[in-house]
């Protein structure tokens, strides 16, 4: 093609190779080996750049981490993601980083959660939103022993303290202190976690 663009068949093939790589038997075997070295396990296809990030040190996964099918972990070239020992990511959880996302030890993230340290820019009216890149308010951190209910969204620059519970369908836009139960969109602390 004279204008330098690729043909539709080549473009389709590139997308198929990139987005379908989690299902290829050799890649699944490679990921299984990398996870086994860390004493972690994935019960099915894991999407995103998991294999690449594990191999180049941008993704740290502790022992006994368990990933259900459909988990998506992705990060840019400067991104760092850490998932602590014994943490469980349920079906369809997505962790996306442009800089830093930390998930502590022994956390449970229910189906459909999103944890990210960035958001798409949309401030340039002359550029399509997907091409504008990302902006971040800083690292996103989830402390040890936290439980996030189904479809919780944790946004950029937020810290959730240890032993917190975040109610289903909540959107966490600001810090949540340790030992708190928070819910809503935006999430607000509704009570403290106490032990009798």
Domain ranges for the chain, please list them: 8-192
Whether the pLDDT of residue 4 is over 60: the answer is no
Which of 13-22, 30-39, 41-50 has the least mean pLDDT?
A: 13-22
> Counting beta carbons within 10 angstroms of the beta carbon of residue 29, is it exposed (0 to 12), middle (13 to 18) or buried (19 or more)?
exposed
pLDDT for position 15? 82
Q: Minimal CA–CA distance to 192: which of 183, 182, 184? A: 182
Mean pLDDT of 63-81: 96
pLDDT tens readout for residues 131-153: 999 999 999 999 999 999 999 99
C-alpha separations of 41 from 68, 74, 101, 160, 188 in Å: 9, 18, 20, 25, 34
Whether the pLDDT of residue 5 is over 90: the answer is no
* 3-state SS, residue 3: coil
pLDDT for position 20? 81
pLDDT for position 3? 54
Quote the distance between the C-alpha of residue 173 and its chain's center. 16
Whether the pLDDT of residue 2 is over 70: the answer is no
User: Up-side HSE of residue 43: CA atoms within 13 Å toward CB?
Assistant: 13
pLDDT for position 13? 86
Report pTM: 0.90
Beta-bridge partner residues of 20: none
Fold of 8-192: UDP N-Acetylglucosamine Acyltransferase; domain 1 (2.160.10)
Whether the pLDDT of residue 74 is over 50: the answer is yes
Of 101 and 120, the one with more pLDDT:
101
pLDDT band, very low/low/confident/very high, at 188 (cuts 50, 70, 90): very high
pLDDT for position 1? 41
């Amino acid at each position: 093609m004279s204008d330098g663009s690729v043909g539709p068949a080549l473009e389709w093939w590139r997308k198929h190779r990139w987005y379908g790589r989690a299902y290829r038997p050799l890649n699944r075997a490679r990921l299984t080996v990398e996870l086994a070295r860390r004493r972690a396990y994935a019960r099915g296809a894991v999407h995103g750049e998991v294999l690449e990030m594990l191999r180049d040190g941008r993704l740290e996964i502790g022992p006994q981490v368990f990933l259900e099918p459909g988990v998506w972990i992705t990060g840019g070239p400067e991104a760092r993601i850490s998932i602590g020992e014994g943490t469980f990511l349920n079906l369809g959880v997505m962790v996306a980083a442009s800089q830093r996302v930390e998930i502590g030890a022994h956390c449970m993230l229910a189906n459909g959660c999103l944890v990210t340290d960035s958001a798409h820019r949309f401030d340039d009216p002359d550029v399509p939103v997907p091409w504008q890149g990302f902006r971040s308010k800083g690292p996103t951190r989830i402390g040890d022993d936290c439980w996030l209910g189904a479809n919780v969204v944790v946004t950029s620059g937020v810290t959730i303290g240890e032993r917190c519970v975040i109610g289903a369908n909540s959107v966490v836009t600001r810090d949540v202190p340790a030992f708190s139960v928070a819910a809503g969109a935006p999430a607000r602390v509704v009570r403290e976690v106490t032990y009798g």
